[in-house]
Every structure is written in structure tokens, then in C-alpha cells.
Amino acid sequence: MHSHSLDQWTHDHVFLGSQHAHNERRTWFVVALTAIMMVGEIVAGTLFGSMALLADGWHMATHAAALGIAALAYLFARRQARNTHFTFGTGKFGDLAAFASAIILGIIAIQIAFESMQRLFSPVPIAYSEAIAVAVLGLAVNLVSAWLLRDEHHDHHHDHGHSHDHSHHHHRDNNLRAAYVHVLADAATSLLAIAALVLAMVSNWVWADPAVGIIGSLVIASWAYGLIRASGAVLLDVNADNDLEETIRSRIESKGDRVTDLHLWQIGPGHRAAVISVVSDHPLPPATYKRRLGGLRGLSHVTVEVETCPDPHPH
């Protein structure tokens, strides 16, 4: 067989999300914003001798690192998209980054809870006005970042007349979601800090600040857990799309053709791969079965194997 005649049978394995480049730009922008804010807070904290500013600055550093992981994941996935060492492309790289990022988020939650418990039993004098000013500044930066990283996916989304519209999260970019959750966690911490500081200042309830810190850490821990579950499911090839599986079965199983084995898993945001075994009394070429699956959105890589049904009454 001549090599040029193989072209029509080969294909690339680029399974990046449809918004990859756009999401990558947004993430880098937020990394820059967070880093500037972090440096500003650390410098100001050192100049003004403010513990609140310094603490928030170093706290921002952990978020900047996590956001950096997300941005680098986009960069790497794009650069290596055509590298044949990655069997199914680099579409899952974002989920790996999201998983790592979620673990950092969990550690941040534990750290906040630990510090809050310490403060609860041995209160520290708080310079209220400057602490509130820092929290407001942090909140402003986080809200801008959250707006930049919001999931606009459903705006770009038009279903092409398929009866089964997959639920939204099958196409979600976990990497972007991880960056968004980090920013949101930071915004929540700032918001809770403002509320607690104002409450403590007005009513002299010194315990309000650490108590709110513990509540905040629980919220962040639950977000981290959700993110670990979502990205871990993709990394472990969990089949999360039962609707699509049912549709594949119903399209292939006609005229005595039976699906005996079906593996369906995610290989990138909005991309699924399927390996299907069909047995039939009158087997057709694999290409015929593939054509039956034409037009299924999100089904990006299909392998079909066909076996003949053994004759139950051999002569």
C-alpha cells in the first residue's frame, strides 16, 4: 500500500476544548493581576508594618501558584497537542492541573482553619481599619478576576437538533473551573473577613474574626472536594455520560446487531472516545457502524470491532 494512500485513514488526536485559546488568555491575565496584587500587598505590608497586609500577600501567593498551574496546563496542552507520545492527545492535561490545584485549595482550607482555631484560643490585637482596607482591596481584585474567568460556555452553546442535549458539565473545562474556584475562594475569604472585622470592631466581639475564618475554610474545603471529584473522574476514565452511551447503543443495535462491549470516556473538554464491540449474524464493515454514529456532538474518537455471531446449530 502506498504511503500517500494512507492519508485518508489517519487522523490527528487534538482534543482541546473549543474555548482553549480564549480560556488560556483569560487565565494568564488573572495570573498577572494576582501577582501584581500579591507583590503590592507584601511591599505595603513591609513598609507599613502591617501583619494583615503581609498575611494576605502570602496567601495571594498560593493562589497565584495555583492559577499559574492552570495557565501552564493550557500552554503545555496547546504546545504538545500534536505530540504522538500522548496516545489520546493532551486534552486531559487541564484535569490533571485542576486536580493538583484542588489539592492546593484543600491545603489552604486546612491552613485557614488551623490559624482561625489558634486565634480563637489566643486572640491577637487587630488593626481594624487597615485590615478592612486590605480585605476590600483584595475583594475588588478577586471580583474582577472572577468576572474574567466566568464560565461563558453556555453562551456559545447551540445544540444541533439532537434529542439528547448532554448536561452542561460534560463539556466543562475543569482547568478553567479550578482557576475560577481559587479566585472565588479568595473573594469569599475577603468578604467574610470584611464582615467579621466590621462586626468585631463595632461590637468588640474579638472571636467573630476567627469564627468566620473557620466557616470560610469549610466552604473552601467543600469546593476543593467537588473539584477533586470532577477532575479525578476524568483522570480515571469514569463514564459520566449515560445519555450518550444510550444513544450509541440505540443507533448501533438494529437488524440483529448487538453491542457486547462499550467503553466511553472523556479525552478532553467536550471530547469523548468510544471503543465498541459489535456481534452480528450478518456483520457489516466497521465504517458502516461508525456512520450510524455520525453527527453525535462530543464523540471525537471511535473504534469499532465487529465479530460474527457463532452459529448455535453447527451442521
- Kindly tell me the sign of the dihedral angle through the C-alpha atoms of 203, 206, 209, 214: negative
What is the C-alpha to C-alpha distance for residues 296 and 305, in angstroms, rounded to an integer?
A: 19
Residue 251: how many other CB atoms lie within 10 Å: 16
DSSP 2-23: -GGGGGGG--------TTHHHH
Closest CA to 17 of 298, 270, 235: 270
Q: What is the pLDDT of residue 29?
A: 93
List the end-to-end C-alpha distance of the chain, in Å, as a whole number: 39
Tell me if 264 sits within 8 A of 168, measured CB to CB.
Answer: no
State residue 110's pLDDT score: 92
User: Strand ranges (DSSP E) for the chain?
Assistant: 258-268, 271-280, 299-308
pLDDT for residue 224 = 92
* H or E element, residue 46: helix 20-48
Picking from 268, 273, 242, 226, the residue whose alpha carbon sits closest to that of residue 94 is: 268
Walking along the chain (315 residues) 10 residues at a time, the average pLDDT comes out as 61 83 92 90 78 76 89 91 88 92 91 85 74 83 90 49 44 87 87 82 78 85 92 88 90 88 91 92 88 88 88 62
CA 77 to chain centre: 14
Tell me what pLDDT residue 156 has: 43
Provide the pLDDT for residue 164.
Answer: 40
CB 286 within 8 A of CB 305: yes
Identify the pLDDT of residue 2: 56
pTM of the predicted structure, to 2 decimals: 0.79
- Report the pLDDT value the prediction gives residue 283, as an integer from 0 to 100: 87
